[in-house]
Homo-oligomer: A and B are copies of this chain.
Amino acid sequence: MKTTKSECVLALTLALVAGETVLQSDEGMWLYTDPPRRQLKEKYGFEPSDAWLEHVRQSSVRFNSGGSGSFVSEDGLILSNHHVGADSLQKFGDEQHNYYRDGFFARTRAEEKKCFDLELNVLMEIEDVTDRVNSAVKADQTPEEAFAARRAVMAAIEKESLEKTGLRSDVVTLYQGGRYHLHRFKKYTDVRLVFAPEQQIAFFGGDPDNFEYPRFDLDICFFRAYENGQPARISHFLKFSSTGPAENELVFVSGHPGHTSRSLTVDELAYLRDQRFPYAMQWLNRLEVMLIAYSARNEESARRAKEFLFGVQNSRKAREGMLAGLLDPQIMARKQADETRLRQAVAGKPELREARPAWDTITAAQKVIAQNNRPYNLLESAHGFNSTLFQIARTLLRSAEEKSKPNGDRLREFRDSNRESLELELFSEEPLYDDFEQIKLAHSLTWLVGNLGYSHPVVQLALAGKSPRDRAADLVLNTRVKDVARRKKLYAGTPQDVAAAHDPLIELARTVDAEARAVRKILETQDELKQQAYAKIAKARFAFEGTSAYPDATFTLRLAYGLVKGYEEEGRKVPFQTTFAGLYERSAAHQNQPPFDLPKRWIERKSRLDLNTPFNFVSTADIIGGNSGSPNVNRQGEFVGIIFDGNIQSLVLDFIYTEEQARAVSVHSRAILESLRQVYDAGSLADELLGKRQP
């Protein structure tokens, strides 16, 4: 760490002297509409053709459950991470089957298992709609009016596009409001599970090794996209490399980084550090403790909670690292210096005078958000009502109300262009368990009291004179929204039909809905103010830095690049890749005890494996959560590995790029082939990857 820091400070000093931002070499989560052509040419002599870019883009798949993937065969085969597939793996399980823990392999197409509610998107077309969005917002509008106007025009653009093309159409906000793009997606909703390994090997090393490197994880999961009941015929898929990347080779990462905060003002970062992250950590700690205690009851409880627990632990460790970054005075000094430099530059340019008050506007808006964020989390994000059944009940309540409004006036998730996706989730047949719903709800009602106080009117309404435990039992055991047919009926009905159902969970949602909507409106209004201000800052940044600026991550498709390259840590060289041999050594060093134990199959098949096979590798590509499952692609456009993690030093990438030690961690393409053949007897799948069609 120490080496990094002093070098960072040096880079900063140079940047200040030069009077402009010096992009760290492999920095950037680039838009496909504005790829880093200059950087790639200057540094690596590589000039991607438009065809190359289109091919990689259309081979990239977004998992709407929160991750990335890619097509790897012309028969619709998709490769992602085990931990991205986890949501589906969890939902398939029951008391007899634990696919999440034990893995799955469909030896025939007929055995491929259809996912309950998984939607995949492929980005087909991108259109800049900035001018149309901005022209809908008038300068003399109040923030409330501006927000409504912006929401309305976005919904209108999406609806028009959907009707015209039949493609899922989303207007996405980039540069915190500096640009608006219309994304048109091909959508797959018949997605079937093909293969997953045991979670033990997908997540070997568990929480201690999570976000660490060296690493030894087979974090992969295969799905297949279907259309009309047949495997989808795919024209853009990645050819699978049987050699993988070499040390210092240039690789690209095409995927969907979820969220970064690099453009945030220093005041906003301080808010994250002092309030938002501490609250998020408290909430995650509470969930983790609850889920561990629940899981310890028996094997079936552990199965029910497993994927949720993994997600919580993963978020907790990520946030710890991000918070540590915000608490690193040198990182904050860099952010402060960059902001000061830009503000000074803006002060010197009369044509950018509009941007001058932007930072203060954001600070003022942020203060209002800070005051309302706790109730927002509790009521609108439902930390006070942590239950899948509650979410379903609220969607039914709100849907009935929203659909009577014009498309542009609705809460954004209820816009026409999102209807199919919403219904896919709402009508999911995923199994829900009364005991698990009860314990989550009872704990979150207790959390509500602890955050608002017992005598708060919302708490009184929510508890209805009962203890949290009794109230949760009452709600979960008496609601009828567990029944999907019932959901469909209520969803088709009017607000009066929904009210006439007298469903206790829907009535609970109604009880707190006015307050939840009110606090959401406050935040949306302040966000509008911030968005306008950030758009001005973005404009100023464009004026100074041109296209060397890429927007913060927003779970939209991006292209990153970097070298396959080790690093130094506390004077020790960390090699660029690991091998299967290293896996067995690490397990033995921990007496094969959990979380360093190996699946039975990996113990039995050890002698069959080429132990020198590269297993995991690292690169300097600029990634963040959401990139999980992204393909690593070489200059030839071939698949050479799959992103599944970043090392602990990469967690600060949320705020700032550094390539001294921060690394993206991937599974090597050779490890995938070798383990499919030698451990899983899944030669047919390996063959498909190599383009050998099934007979």
CA gap between A465 and B591 in the complex, in Å: 41
Given contacts A286-B285, A289-B289, A293-B208, contact A327 B449 (CB under 8 A): yes
Q: A466 contacts which chain B residues (CB < 8 A)?
A: 329
CB of A647, distance to nearest CB on chain B (Å): 16
Query: Which residue in B293, B328, B454 is a CB contact (below 8 Å) of A270?
Result: B454
With A278-B449, A292-B292, A296-B207 in contact, do A467 and B591 touch (Cβ < 8 Å)? no
Q: In the assembled complex, which residues on chain B have CB atoms less than 8 Å from the CB atom of A292? A: 207, 292
CB distance from A417 to the nearest CB of B (A): 40
Partner of A324, one of B463, B467, B595: B467
A207 to B298: give the CA distance in the assembly, Å: 12
Among A289, A324, A329, find the residue whose CB has the most chain B CB atoms closer than 10 A.
A289
Report chain B residues within 8 Å CB of A6.
none
Bound together, the chains give a CA A324 to CA B590 distance in angstroms of 40
A102 nearest CB across to chain B (Å): 15
For A253, what are the chain B residues with a Cβ–Cβ distance below 8 Å?
none
Q: Are B467 and A296 in contact (CB under 8 A)?
A: no
**Is A297 a contact of B468 with CB atoms below 8 Å?**
no
| B590–A293 touching, CB < 8 Å | no
Min CB–CB distance A345 → chain B (angstroms): 27
User: CB-nearest residue of chain B relative to A456?
Assistant: B274
How many of chain A's residues have a CB under 8 angstroms from any CB in B? 48
Q: Is the interface of A mostly helix, strand, loop or mixed?
A: helix
A316 located at the interface, meaning its Cβ lies under 8 Å from any Cβ of chain B in the complex: yes
Q: Tell me if A277 is interfacial: C-beta within 8 Å of chain B.
A: yes
A479-499 CB contacts (< 8 Å) to partner B: none
Interface 1/0 per residue, A193-222 and B, CB below 8 Å: 000000000000011100000000000000
| Contact present for B285 and A449 (CB under 8 Å) | no
- Residue A181 lies at the interface, judged by CB distance under 8 Å to chain B: no
User: In the bound complex, how far is the Cα of B468 from the Cα of A299, in angstroms?
Assistant: 38
Assess whether A260 is interfacial by the CB under 8 Å rule. no
Asked whether A422 is an interface residue with its Cβ less than 8 Å from the other chain, the reply is no
Complex alpha-carbon distance, A246 and B463, angstroms:
43
Q: Is A273 an interface residue (CB 8 A)?
A: yes
Q: With contacts A289-B316, A316-B289 known, is A281 near B450, CB below 8 A?
A: yes
List, in ascending order, chain B residues with CB within 8 A of A270's CB.
454-455
Beta-carbon contact of A285 and B274 below 8 Å: no
Contact of A446 among B323, B451, B454, B470 (CB under 8 A): B323
In addition to A282-B282, A329-B466, 10 A-B residue pairs with Cβ atoms within 8 Å of each other are A207-B293, A281-B450, A282-B285, A289-B289, A289-B316, A293-B317, A299-B591, A327-B468, A328-B467, A329-B467
Question: Could you name 18 residue pairs across A and B whose Cβ atoms are closer than 8 Å?
Answer: A207-B296, A208-B293, A270-B455, A274-B449, A274-B453, A275-B453, A278-B450, A278-B451, A281-B286, A282-B285, A282-B450, A285-B286, A285-B289, A289-B289, A293-B317, A324-B467, A328-B467, A329-B466
